[in-house]
Structure 1
Amino acid sequence: MHHLDETTRTELEAAAFRHLLRHLDEHKEVQNIDLMILADFCRNCLSKWLVGAAEERGAELDYETAREYVYGMPYGEWKEKYQLDATSEQQAAFQAQQARKQGREESSQNG
C-alpha cells in the first residue's frame, strides 16, 4: 500500500473500517467479550480509538457519540437488545488472555 498516495490510502482504510463496522453489525451474536478474548479489542475499543483520532486532529467527538456510530444505535439500546451476560467460560478465557498479555508485556520490559 506504500505505492498509493495518502488520500487514496486513507480512503481505502476508511472504507475497510466502515466494512468492519457493517460486519460487526451483521454479527451481533459476537459479543464484545468474545472479541476481547480472541483479538484484544471490542466495539468499545473502536469507539475509544475514534475519539482518540478526533482529538489528534483537533475535532470534537465524545465517547457516547462514537459508540452510537460504532454500535449503529445508542449503546444502552444495543446492550439491552444484544449483550448477553458473560458465561463463566468466557470470563475464564478473558482472564487467561489478560494474564498472557500481562506476561508478554513483562517479558518485553525485562528483555
Structure 2
Amino acid sequence: MADTILTDAVAATAFRRLIAHLQHRTDVQNIDLMGTAGFCRNCLADWIAEADGAITRDEAREIVHGMPFAEWKAKHQGEATPEQIARMKESVAKNADTH
C-alpha cells in the first residue's frame, strides 16, 4: 500500500534526507544501527548498488558515507564490543522475513 501512496519524488526527498542524517550522525556506529534497526549505512549502500547495477558497492558506500568507506571507517568507526555484536546478531535474525 505504501508504494501506491508514496511518490518517487517524495521517496527520493526522504531518502536524501536519511543519507544526510546518517552522514551527520557519525557518532552512531554502524554496529549500533544493526543492533537496533537491523540495517546500517553499508546495508543501505548495498541496496543502492543492487537497485542500480551500474553503481558498485564501493561507489554506493561513498554516496552513503559522504567519503570513501575506508576514510569514514578510519575517522568514525570504533571496535565493536561483544555486546554490540550480540545485539546485532539478534536484530539481524529478525530480518529473515524481509528479504
| Shorter-chain TM-score tier | 0.7 to 0.9
Q: Which has the larger radius of gyration?
A: 1
* Corresponding residue of 2:69: 75
> How far 1:95 moved relative to its partner?
2.9
Retained in 1: the 8 A contact 2:46–2:60? yes
Q: TM-score, normalised by structure 1?
A: 0.76
Q: Please, what is the CA RMSD of the aligned residues?
A: 2.1
> How far 1:92 moved relative to its partner?
2.2
Which stretches of structure 1, 4 residues or longer, exceed 4 Å deviation after superposition? none
**Identity of paired residues, percent?**
45
**Letter of the 1:16 counterpart:** A
Retained in 1: the 8 A contact 2:62–2:69? yes
CA distance in 2, matches of 1:29, 1:3: 33
CA distance in 1, matches of 2:90, 2:16: 31
The count of residues paired between Structure 1 and Structure 2 equals: 95
Q: 1:54 to 1:92 in 2, by over 3 A?
A: same
Task: Pick one of 12, 37, 41 that aligns with 1:43.
Answer: 41
Q: TM-score, normalised by structure 2?
A: 0.84
CA distance in 2, matches of 1:80, 1:21: 19
Matched residue of 2:52: which SS? helix
Q: Does 1:53 align with 2:51?
A: yes
Q: Does 1:94 align with 2:92?
A: no
Structure of higher RCO (CA pairs closer than 8 Å, 6+ residues apart)? 2
Q: For structure 1, list consecutive stretches of 5 or more residues without a partner in the other structure.
A: 106-111
